[in-house]
Structure formats: structure tokens, C-alpha cells
Copies of this chain bind each other. A is one copy, B any other.
């Protein structure tokens, strides 16, 4: 697999991307093409002792920053490190694209440079999140603040494919609809109509799930409009962060708690790791013609390596083609 990676996206650019690329080349044998200023990349790699074997560079000096308008990816910044990577993948020069840059820009670029799959109303951002038991997929988590019921059905179809082929590696994927109660009549018009569409689909729809049950792994795929999906995602992050910080400060209360903390620290570390999204490789934009993965803005070396691994797996499983087939079948059903 040939994976294009934006070397200048995210808080830890370009070092984390370079290190993650080198690790991914070594671990999985993929070719990684780093997009960005060639000299800066080579200097950074040399200064940090990162071997560039198996890594190519797609040179460009422009960078799209977090302050730039998302739509600038189509104009002023079409030749940014994000822009050239998206164009290369759209043109078939690579199998997948990874960036830790602006969410708005990558969504805009995925939609209008890589382009939507025919039949998909709106591409969605899907995030693989940790639960108390197993990871689950949440979508949409912010691309579409306002949704129609048919969009939620498509999100469920795309999410189930991704979960089945890339994350869970199993045909049995449960789908739940985020709602303010488990009863069928709950929610507003959007949820009630989406419930009906999901019930009639061939998905393994388990009904409404309440937000309280989501962190326990209530469903493999949780479907929501982008606004409430975003609220769910960020509330999980914020609550977990805040609690773990409070617990950390408890360990610094006195000598006995410092000792107590030292005794449980290794186990807390693995819990923190389990709660971290970075192991699952970031958020795919589903519904576009090539695999596009958005890594977290603060992605580190490990997160980049995982994002590249997952991007290659999604490309290998040919998720875009499978989604296109599912949409075509759907269109036939209707027509």
C-alpha cells in the first residue's frame, strides 16, 4: 500500500508524522509519501535520527493552518501539504491519505477533491472510540450538524462496513441510534424517522441507545446527527480527562497516597491507554472515493503510525468500493 501523509498537519508537525511514517514503514512494509517542504522534512528527520528508508516526499511549501478557512483547501491552499496529498490520492497515485490537520479542511477536501461516492448524500466523520469493553464507531461526529433521516441510514450503512472490515473483523456488527431514551417513540422527528428506516434495513439494528450506555459499548456502531455526535464525543473526552486529572491529583495528597499511587500506576496507565483514541487510528471520512483518515490534532508518533496502519487496512479492504456497491444496491431497491 502507498499511503500519503500530511507532514504539516497537527500540533506535533512535522516530527510526529515523520516518526510515525518511519515506524509504519518498518512495521508494515507500506510505502509512505510525506507531503510538505522536502528540506524541512529531511532536516527534521536528520536532527532526530529518523531513517527515511521507504519514505518518499511530495514537495510543497504551503501549509493550511487551523486559522485558515476550511474552503481555502480548494483555492488559496490547494497546494498545501494537505491539498497535494488529497489531489494525489484522488488521482490514483496513492491508496489512502492521512492528516492531523484542520477537520473542516480535510472534510471539505475529501468531499470536493477526492469526491463523494455516487448516491452518498453527505460524507461523514466517523470516530473509533474506546469503551469499557471494546472499541465502537461513532458517526457522524461533527461533519453534518443538521441531518435528514436518510443520512442517518447511510451513516449506519457506511459505519457498519467500516467496523466490520477494518476494526471488528466480523460480519456481526450491531448498530444503535443515539436517542434520549430506549423506547421506539423517543427523540424528535429525525430520530423517529431514522428509527423506522433503520428497522427496515438489513443492518443488525438494536434500536435506540442512550448516551449513558455508549461508554459501556452498547453498540458497535452508534449513529447520530453530527451535532449530538460531536457532543457525545467531546463529553466523553472531557469527562475522562477531568476525572483522570482529579485522580492524579489525589495521588499527590500526602505520602500515603503517593505510595498508593505508585502501587497502582502501571495499571492506571493501561486504563488511560485503553481510553485513548489514538490506538484505533483516527477518524475516517466515510462516503468519499478513497480512504481519508483524520488523526487527532495532538497525534503523536504512535498515533500517526496507527493512523497509517488503519488507512492501509481500510484501503486494502476497499471500503470506498464496498460503500459504492451498497449505495448502488440501495438505489436499485428504490428504483
| Interface: A170 (CB within 8 A) | no
Are A243 and B240 CB-contacts (below 8 A) given A145-B180, A231-B228, A235-B214? Answer: yes
How far apart sit A212 and B214, CA to CA, in the bound complex (Å)?
16
Quick one: closest B residue to A251, CB to CB? B264
Q: Are A187 and B263 interface neighbours, CB within 8 A?
A: no
A230 surroundings in chain B (CB, below 8 A):
180, 211
Within 8 A of B (CB), among A228-271: 228, 230-247, 250-251, 253, 256-257, 259-264, 267-268, 271
Q: Are B238 and A240 interface neighbours, CB within 8 A?
A: no
A216 surroundings in chain B (CB, below 8 A):
238, 242
Q: Are B253 and A231 interface neighbours, CB within 8 A?
A: no
| Interface: A142 (CB within 8 A) | yes
> Could you tell me the distance in whole angstroms from the C-beta of A231 to the nearest C-beta in chain B?
5
| Interface: A215 (CB within 8 A) | yes
Q: Are A250 and B275 interface neighbours, CB within 8 A?
A: no
Give chain A's interface residues, CB within 8 Å of chain B: 131-132, 142, 145-146, 178, 180, 186-189, 191, 210-216, 224, 226-228, 230-247, 250-251, 253, 256-257, 259-264, 267-268, 271, 275
How far apart sit A178 and B227, CA to CA, in the bound complex (Å)?
10
Q: Quick one: which of B214, B244, B256 contacts A243, CB cutoff 8 A? A: B244
A227 surroundings in chain B (CB, below 8 A):
180, 187-188, 191, 228
Quick one: closest B residue to A141, CB to CB? B180
Q: Are B263 and A256 interface neighbours, CB within 8 A?
A: yes
12 contacts between A and B (CB under 8 A): A131-B242, A180-B230, A210-B234, A211-B238, A214-B238, A215-B242, A240-B243, A243-B243, A243-B271, A251-B264, A260-B264, A261-B264
How many copies of this chain does the complex contain?
Answer: 2
Q: Are B271 and A250 interface neighbours, CB within 8 A?
A: yes
Q: Are A238 and B212 interface neighbours, CB within 8 A?
A: yes
A191 surroundings in chain B (CB, below 8 A):
145, 227
Q: Quick one: which of B142, B236, B267 contacts A257, CB cutoff 8 A? A: B267
A145 surroundings in chain B (CB, below 8 A):
180, 186-188, 191
How far apart sit A232 and B231, CA to CA, in the bound complex (Å)?
6
A271 surroundings in chain B (CB, below 8 A):
243, 246-247, 250
How far apart sit A44 and B212, CA to CA, in the bound complex (Å)?
33
Q: Quick one: which of B178, B226, B234, B253 contacts A212, CB cutoff 8 A? A: B234
A264 surroundings in chain B (CB, below 8 A):
250-251, 253, 257, 260-261, 264
Quick one: closest B residue to A271, CB to CB? B246
A186 surroundings in chain B (CB, below 8 A):
145
Q: Quick one: which of B231, B259, B262, B268 contacts A235, CB cutoff 8 A? A: B231
A261 surroundings in chain B (CB, below 8 A):
260, 264
How far apart sit A211 and B259, CA to CA, in the bound complex (Å)?
34
